[in-house]
Amino acid sequence: MKGLAYYASNEEDPYITLNDEEDESEDLRILPTDNILIAAKTEDDVSQLEFYIYEEADDNLYIHHDMMLPSFPLCLEWLDFRLGRKSGIEGSGNYIAVGTFDPEIEIWDLDTLDSMYPDAILGNREGIKKKKKSKVPNAEFHTDSVMSLSWNRHHRNLLASSSADTTVKLWDLQSLKCAHSFTHHKDKVQQVEWHPIESTILLTASFDKSVAAFDSRAPTSVTFWNLGNADPECIRWDPFSPQYFYVSTEAGLVLYFDVRNPGHVAPVYTLHAHDSAVSSFDVSPSIQGCIVTGSTDKLVKVWDVKDMKPNMVTSRDLGVGKVFSTQFCPDSPFQIAVAGSEGKVFIWDLSSNVGIRNSFKGRNNVPFLSESTSIEKPPITLANDSEHEDDDNVDDDMEDLEDDSGDDV
């Protein structure tokens, strides 16, 4: 064909000026200014972890890569204790622990791209391939779904897990074995969280409608709080007043308890946050009195609870469906990540909201990035997030099902 030039390799072609390997390396590069967000997602019975990069300066959010999971994910926990192939190496690592409908806990090395297998598995490995497993509690491993994980930042080799088998387990990441199994609850244990200051204290919440606190060194001495007729959804210690903790419930309430007043003592205050279950909840680690709630009513609300007098500052329907996750960014005080049943992830910059500025300006000496603007920035999501909407809604009847077969984050 006239005018057609052929070159033996792309390097000889003067019109190809970029090296493919350099392009690929540039695409995978993560800058120190990038924020990394990991979301667990299930779509069409396929479960995976999606690794997002948020470029704050450009308000750009994109998926860097993803990783397949063997089962429906229920909880994630980041940790830096080196284990598996890198066990014993000095310095900090970069890992994600994943709890699923399976009783095993997988721990993946985030510094290794396209890993085929997790670096460690906590639990009964021999029973992984068995279709039918006994759900009778076992002292050495979980026998049902892992519902919550909490890594101890003071004793970095310790990971706590709670399960539908009614137990809470303490794992030694050095030996990859269960160091202790706690059996103080009578039903599924929805949440577990280490105390931010007292490094041996654990807080747990169960479907037996109770919250418990205890010292892991003396597990027989457990203090309980009764939640009445509501199951717990989330628990959080107050980072600014660590003698207090929050509990959100399926009844739409957020309860604030004093750990020094055990038993059936009423909460310090009760916040009627939503008309449906408060399915997600977080406390700002940077701004005292700032909390965020998310609900199955599809709303995300920001509250000012300073001086124990809750006041709603703003409320939004971000279009994520039923809200399953709301979390503050540890490095940017006014940024929260929100995700829900529509399979979407949003980054919401609260600092551009006038109500937020008026309520929290000057608190904890945290500067606002948008003090000079009166225009609120819209929440950021994937640029092409809507291109698959038609495919996701092929069967409208599926929207009415209240099961886990949908598109969840």
Residue 363's alpha-carbon distances to 288, 289, 368, in angstroms, are: 7, 9, 11
pLDDT of residue 86: 87
Average pLDDT over every residue of 151-177: 97
| Helix or strand holding residue 22 (H, E) | helix 20-28
Instruction: Identify the CA nearest to 168 among candidates 181, 158, 178, 177.
Output: 181
- Tens digits of per-residue pLDDT, 28-74? 778 888 899 999 999 988 999 999 999 988 999 999 999 999 899 99
How close are the terminal C-alpha atoms of the chain, in Å? 53
Task: Output the pLDDT for position 389.
Answer: 44
Higher pLDDT, 204 or 409: 204
Residues whose CB falls within 8 Å of the CB of residue 350, separated by 6 or more in sequence, listed in order: 302, 314, 334, 335, 336, 356
Instruction: Compute CA distances 162 → 90, 205, 215, 259, 306, whole Å.
Output: 29, 9, 16, 20, 31
Between CA 149 and CA 169 the distance in angstroms is: 10
Question: Could you report the per-residue pLDDT of 174-186, keeping only the tens digit for each?
Answer: 999 999 999 999 9
What span, in angstroms and rounded, lies between the C-alpha atoms of 313 and 303? 5
Q: Are 274 and 299 in contact (CB under 8 A)?
A: yes
- How confident is the model at residue 377, as a pLDDT? 85
pLDDT band at 18 (very low <50, low <70, confident <90, very high): low
- Range of weakest confidence among 176-190, 374-388, 392-406: 392-406
